[in-house]
């Protein structure tokens, strides 16, 4: 038994020596094969890192496209709108990491110097987070206690002959309350906001005489799949006078864009893998052609087909593992560059990338090696040893 083990050990040592020498002496083609695998593995690893991170990162990115969640009074509610304190409690219950921004909205009709307008009370800090796409001529209202400023929609500003810096008198519909405001900015959204005037929620509540009330609220929540529905269901269960629902159109387009981007990344990765496979195939084919006399000699000396297959498979596996290892490092760096360029965020290392990249690289390398190894096995020693 000891003798058998010793023979195995000796044969294994010789095999490793063959492997080492074959890969390290005259190694130009080996380097080309390693680089091919490395480039493929780097792209796969970078895209896999992004892919695994993308749902979270992309959802976050998509939230710049507007609110995706609506909160309003239940149809059966006795009084107008929602109590602000209840709404604050509701927002406080949401997971902070999921909430990108929110604003309560209170609507009412007011009189201006040149006619009537829709006044909207908002939380400007929250509004700015959920509507970063608004074109603002002037400055955003920065603080919630700024009761002397307003932001005016573009079409309303044209009608009322207002521009940033202008002042306007705002009078309640029953003429019992009035205030003079400075226009801080004119906004352009391309939507109904262009005909509205925005003030702080507190000022709107006073002007409209609706203290502690809001009509509705819009939120921007990072939610994947059915998560938005679950959040809505939980709110509806815990707050009976309130209806919460995802804004379906935006949520669904988030998902569709994510699906398309993920599909595109998979397509790029697959294309790169195919190119890598072809590159490695060409290199291994050239290696086999160059080493045909050596393979013929090994067969003449009594090497079985499985020994030839084993040798080339092992060489391919080593080339692949070295290439994949280097590719993983390179790919992680590439993922950081892409992460910064596209999402302005560092990409987190995901352990799943390791087996995924190594597995796909091995698969590509083995597919690339299949034909060259078949050629190696089919080499006729008598021919190649005579130099044919």
Partner 1 sequence: MDAITTSVIEVAGLAKRFGTVTALENINISIRQGEFVAIMGPSGSGKTTLLNILSCLDTPTEGKYILDGIDSSSLTEQQRTVIRREKIGLVFQQFHLIPYLTALENIMLAQHYHSMPLKDEAMAALSRVGLDQRWNHLPSQLSGGEQQRVCIARALINEPAIVLADEPTGNLDERNEDLVMDLLKQLNREGRTIVLITHNPDLGLLTDRIIRLSHGHLEDVLP
Which residues in this chain contact partner 1 in the complex, by CB under 8 A? 6-7, 10-11, 13-15, 17-18, 21-22, 24-26, 293-294, 296-305, 307, 380-382, 385-387
Residue showing tokens 């906004």: 187
Give the residue with the Cβ less far from partner 1, 85 or 301.
301
**What's the min distance (Å) between Cβ of 22 and partner 1?**
6
Strand partners, 112: 115
Instruction: Please state the closest distance from residue 382 (CB atom) to partner 1, in A.
Output: 4
Rounded Cα–Cα distance for residues 337 and 340 (Å)? 5
| Cβ proximity to partner 1, 30 vs 156, nearer residue | 30
The conformation of residue 351, written as its DSSP 8-state character, comes to: T
Of 102, 270, 283, 271, which is closest to residue 201 (Cα–Cα)?
Answer: 102
Looking at the Cβ atoms of 64 and 314, the one nearer to partner 1 is 314
Closest approach of Cβ 286 to partner 1, in Å? Answer: 16
Are the C-beta atoms of residues 137 and 188 closer than 8 Å to each other? yes
HSE-CB for 370 with a 13 A CA cutoff = 8
Asked if residue 382 lies in contact with residue 299, where contact means CB atoms within 8 angstroms, the answer is no
Query: At closest approach, how far in Å is the CB of 324 from partner 1?
Result: 24
Provide, rounded to whole angstroms, the least separation between the CB of residue 14 and partner 1: 4
**Whose Cβ is closer to partner 1: residue 3's or residue 341's?**
3
| HSE toward the beta carbon, residue 91, CA cutoff 13 A | 22
Q: How far is the CB of 325 from partner 1 (least distance, A)?
A: 23
Give the Cα separation of 376 and 305 in Å (integer). 9
Residue (7 or 109) nearer to partner 1, CB: 7
Neighbours of 249 (CB within 10 A): 9
Packing angle of the helix pair 353-378, 28-62 (nearest 10 deg): 150
Q: By C-beta, is 27 or 253 nearer to partner 1?
A: 27
Tokens matching residue 310: 């084993």
């Amino acid at each position: 038994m000891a003798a058998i083990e010793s023979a195995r050990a000796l044969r294994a040592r010789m095999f490793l020596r063959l492997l080492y020498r074959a890969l390290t002496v005259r190694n130009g083609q080996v380097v080309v094969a390693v680089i091919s695998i490395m480039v493929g593995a780097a792209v796969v690893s970078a895209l896999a890192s992004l892919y695994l991170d993308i749902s979270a990162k992309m959802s976050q990115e998509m939230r710049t496209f507007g609110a995706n969640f609506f909160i309003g009074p239940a149809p059966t509610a006795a009084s107008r709108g929602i109590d602000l304190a209840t709404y604050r409690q509701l927002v406080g219950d949401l997971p902070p990491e999921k909430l990108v921004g929110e604003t309560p909205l209170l609507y009412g009709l007011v009189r201006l110097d040149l006619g009537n307008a829709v006044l909207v009370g908002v939380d400007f800090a929250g509004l700015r987070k959920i509507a970063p796409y608004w074109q603002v001529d002037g400055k955003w209202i920065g603080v919630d206690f700024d009761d002397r400023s307003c932001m005016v929609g573009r079409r309303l500003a044209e009608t009322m002959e207002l521009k940033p810096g202008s002042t306007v008198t705002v009078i309640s519909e029953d003429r019992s309350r009035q205030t003079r405001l400075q226009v801080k900015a004119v906004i352009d959204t391309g939507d109904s906001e262009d005909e509205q005037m925005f003030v702080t929620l507190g000022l709107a509540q006073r002007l409209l005489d609706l203290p502690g009330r809001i009509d509705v609220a819009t939120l921007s929540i990072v939610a994947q799949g059915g998560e938005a529905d679950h959040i809505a269901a939980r709110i509806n269960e815990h707050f009976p006078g309130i209806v919460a629902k995802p804004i379906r159109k935006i949520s669904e387009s988030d998902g569709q864009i994510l699906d398309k981007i993920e599909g595109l990344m998979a397509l790029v990765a697959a294309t790169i893998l195919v190119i890598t496979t072809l590159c490695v195939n060409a290199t291994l084919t050239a290696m086999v052609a160059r080493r045909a006399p050596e393979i013929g000699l090994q067969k003449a000396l009594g090497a079985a087909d499985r020994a030839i297959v084993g040798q080339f498979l092992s060489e391919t596996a080593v080339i692949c593992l070295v290439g994949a290892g280097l590719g993983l490092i390179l790919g992680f760096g590439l993922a950081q560059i892409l992460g910064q360029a596209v999402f302005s965020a560092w990409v987190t290392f995901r352990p799943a990338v390791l087996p995924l990249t190594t597995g796909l690289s091995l698969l590509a390398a083995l597919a690339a090696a299949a034909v060259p190894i078949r050629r190696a096995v089919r080499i006729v020693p008598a021919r190649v040893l005579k130099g044919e």
